[in-house]
Amino acid sequence: MTSIRIQAGGKWSGYISRGKNIRMTAAGNRANLTTLLFQASDPSERYNMPDSLKAQHTAYLTSGHVLMSDQGRVLASIIDDTTGWHDTLSGYTTRRSTDRKYGVTTYQQERNDWYRSGYENLVVEMYRHRLTPRDLGTPVNFFSKVVCELDGTMRYESQPTAGTSITLRTEMELLLVVSNTPNPLDPEWRYPDSVIELTFSDAEPVKEDDRCLVHCEENRRAFENTWQAQSLLKGAY
């Protein structure tokens, strides 16, 4: 079992094998882990927010849901969740929005205490893997609750995150890119200070009664698409 601690304002990226659990645990409140997922060998296939939400008839993610790619396959499944609601819509913070809300800071002045933005963190980590800002898509903001009102507006709703966790099971080989930066809709003027820990371990095989598999017919088709693609890939060698 391997663990990584991401400080407030921190970032991380890495390749994760298929059949692993990624447990994300927040140490404090107002936690927000802005997350992108790519298929490791072909990052042109990546997490697709519209398809994931439409197929599962939801506007947020929690236990039993899956994160689908733009190819109709399952990148990862949410097999456990003690937080209960994860934002899929509000995107990431920018340099301008961070400076406006929390005050202007620079590395030259504050060193490692300067306030990072989600955009900057994601782009830096993506460059490590030969990706560019053109590869940015809509991320998942784990630990944040954003409610869609009937008039189409989005509202950040505070929920306790200290000690809560979410566990992803990888269904494909993944490139994971994360940024521990504020949710764009968080109204608090103080920059969040929650550490988020990632713990990696082996996952149990998917069983026929798996909650994510049986959640809806669309999920089962996405799993079948994933298994078929993996079977064809093995046959090519």
- For residue 234, what pLDDT band results from cuts at 50, 70 and 90? low
Q: Is pLDDT at 236 greater than 50 in this prediction?
A: no
Q: Compute the half-sphere exposure of residue 44: CA atoms within 13 Å on the CB side of its CA.
A: 1
Q: What is the pLDDT of residues 41-53, one digit of tens each?
A: 999 999 999 999 9
120-174 pLDDT per residue, tens: 999 999 999 999 999 999 999 999 999 988 888 999 999 999 999 999 999 999 9
Adjacent-strand bridge partners of 178? 12, 35
Confidence category of residue 233, pLDDT binned at 50, 70, 90:
low
| 144/170 Cα distance (integer angstroms) | 21
* pLDDT of 231: 78
What is the pairing mode between strands 165-170 and 74-81? antiparallel
**Using CA atoms, how far apart are residues 186 and 151, in angstroms rounded to an integer?**
20
> Model confidence over 13-45: pLDDT tens digits?
999 999 999 999 999 999 999 999 999 999 999
Task: For 119-181, give the DSSP string.
Answer: HHHHHHHHHTTT--GGG----EEET--EEEPTTS-EEE-----TT-EEEEEESS-EEEEEE--
Burial class (CB in 10 A: 0-12, 13-18, 19+), 102: middle
The C-alpha atoms of residue 79 and residue 220 are separated, in whole angstroms, by 15
Q: What is the side-by-side order of every strand in the sheet holding 196-202?
A: 2-6, 196-202, 20-26, 165-170, 74-81, 66-68
Q: Rounded to whole angstroms, how far apart are CA atoms 141 and 119?
A: 13
Tens of pLDDT, residue by residue over 174-231, are: 999 999 999 999 999 999 999 999 999 999 999 999 999 999 999 999 999 999 988 7
Q: How confident is the model at residue 235 (pLDDT cuts 50, 70, 90)?
A: low
C-alpha to C-alpha distance for 27 and 190, rounded to whole angstroms: 17
